[in-house]
Structure 1
Amino acid sequence: MGDHQEHFKIIKNGNIASAKGFQAGGLHCGLRKKKTDLGWVYSEVPAQAAGVYTMNVFQAAPLKVTKESIAKENQLQAIIVNSAIANACTGEQGLQDAYDMRKQFAETVGVEEHLAAVASTGLIGELLPMGTLQKGISQIPENNQVGAEKFETAILTTDTKEKGIAIELEIDGQTVTIGGAAKGSGMIHPNMATMLGFVTTDANISSSHLSDTLKAITNQSFNMITVDGDTSTNDMVLVLANGKAENEALTSEHKEWQKFYQALKFVCEYLAKEIARDGEGATRLVEVQVDGAFTDESATAIAKSIISSNLVKTAIHGADANWGRIITAIGYSGESLDPDKVSIYLGDILVVENGVPHPFDEEAAKQYLLKDEVMILVKLGDANGKATAWGCDLSYEYVRINASYRT
């Protein structure tokens, strides 16, 4: 990820409102007892828009409404997000509530209805208390509610911290900014998770290029994280590009296209890793790198198999260098490989070489696995396929959080 970082710089305290023409905010409307629970993002002008959504068959009402908004002109100008209640599995009433939420929000911030997106996160199967929500939406124009940090807080559920970033780079001699915010802590699994991601940029780029790019980058970032193997009903990532930087329109033929692509990829990877790092009950960020697979797709499947293994995750939580669990996860991935060429490293510590145990210092391995960030490297042979996935350990605290989620 660092190979391309010389092309851009991270903005200190940068956020989703750092790009030209964007603002964000949040407030407490009463969906939660005390915490901020309603957030929004607004662009001064309609922005080119693209989205990716959960693979879960049960797709929540807000996703359906947002897809419909984008489908009209591939543009958005504002996004509203509530936490506490997911508005999922709520039938016709839930869908009508999502439409009503969009309509009132659009009127409140002064945009056309189809230029507003709706997102919800929280408990599945409960209807939104629309009176409470509508009262909150009516307060949005008040100046004291503006601030990206308020938005970052408003979208959280069981997360322990806000997740935001912004970077800037130069394209056509113009400063282009990309900012983002995300939430996600549990029910996180490849193919989107219970996660919401929002990215804003003032770059000039068409919605078709933006959409193709988002899909490609999502497969290398948001779709490469797992916390617990569950894929939720409400996941989406939205990208808005309002063109305020006034660069020449970005396409794959643009001489600085790769600079923009790598910058957007960095923002998405950063947010994805922050979600994995903040997994429910997590004490470590785990990175799995797979190299030497027959194809990138095969490497991806193997990396996901390892990062999704509860036995691997619990071993890391216990700082137990039980490489047999990693071998097992590689073996049941369903991918073709030569077992006699598989080598495994925990950080720099070689534990398996060409399919057989390699002598290593157990205490040194334990100390490595106690670090905040743990890397598992798997070398499968001499082919060129590679992939990286991120996740976290599985702790006693995860069980406690999810055993009492509704209480």
Structure 2
Amino acid sequence: MLKGGPSSTPGVNKGPFLAPVSPEYGGGSLADVLPSALGVLGVPGAVDLLGLGAELAGVRRIAVLLVDGLGWYQIPVAAPYAPALAGLTATVGRPLTCGFPSTTPTSLVTLGTGVPAGAHGVVGFTLRVPGTDRVLSHIEWADDPSPLRWQPVTTWLERARAAGVAVTVVSRPEFGGTGLTLAANRGGDYRGAAGVDELAATMLTALAAGTGPTLVSGYHPDVDRHGHLSGVDSMPWRAAVTEVDALLSRLVDGLPPDAALLVTADHGQLDVPPGDRFDLDTDPRLTAGVRVVAGEPRVRYLHVEPGATADVVASWSGVLGSAARVLTRDEAVATGWFGPVPEEHLRRIGDVVVVCNDTYAVLASRSESPAVSRLVALHGADTAAEMTIPLLVVRG
């Protein structure tokens, strides 16, 4: 059990990096990237909320690369090992926010649909399936529940294809056909690419193949993976950002004259020291009245026994103190974190929502995979380190 204040976090300074940040939906968020890019390409209904038109005048081909885990505040840490990334950030970069929670499944679907999580329904890393005690992990999701029902919003890739844009999705071969890929990227021709060399080559080939408007969406997961396993600024993390640097250089060098590259991320990361970790499964005060736990260590969704909401809020608030904000579902929705939430998606959010502050986390060592408790860097909450992401805009 933690005692005292938050410990120091390698690679993340205290102060503004750990201050709460609200999603800037409607002109400054990840949700606005594809509508803005497709607005440049003339897709009906696509509005250039990010003001890319002047930068991209005459562009007919756009590649969008999402680097998992590469937050805005991680780029200065990466700079010694990724000079091309640092240079592009300084000259053609600007900060955006991701949506809430700051987690990969939510962000991938937010990018693909152009709407906040409340609308598309993928409101967390893991979610309780309403009417059951089953917890759905979106990264292990196949076809139950149906991706078309669980995530009902038409993607911008579908809209682009209907408007005559050639659309290609390039990602790891094992992600093809998964529930998350269908929820986020349906509408694009899927191309598997196993590493950075194949990713760059496949994206550039797809970008150059068409004769008309073209959109290529690429995804690279390794910065996030090595941050989780070893920590921000660890040797494996440095190697991963070095690979990203080579990927960016190859993409920029290979852009056709009428093309542009947009580089963004799904979230940032921060290291969570051992002393800043609670374990709900070893504290009976945190399990009392709780039926199902979902979410992830930085944002917990607690589905409680009938009539237990007030008691669970009081108990968790007493145990966690300043380490987290403990809210009812209605209070959490009222913050605007999720955007508008239709009735059919409300019960996916816990009766109680726990959002960690600073570098704290709430583990579930027995009810979740033990691997989660061993992760070094985490994300999901609303600190600037997690929520602020880059947008780099490069013309061919």
Q: Could you tell me the TM-score, scaled by structure 2's length?
A: 0.25
* Bigger share in strand: 1
Structure scoring higher RCO (CA < 8 A, sep ≥ 6) equals 2
- Which of these two proteins has the greater Rg computed from alpha carbons? 1
* Bigger share in helix: 2
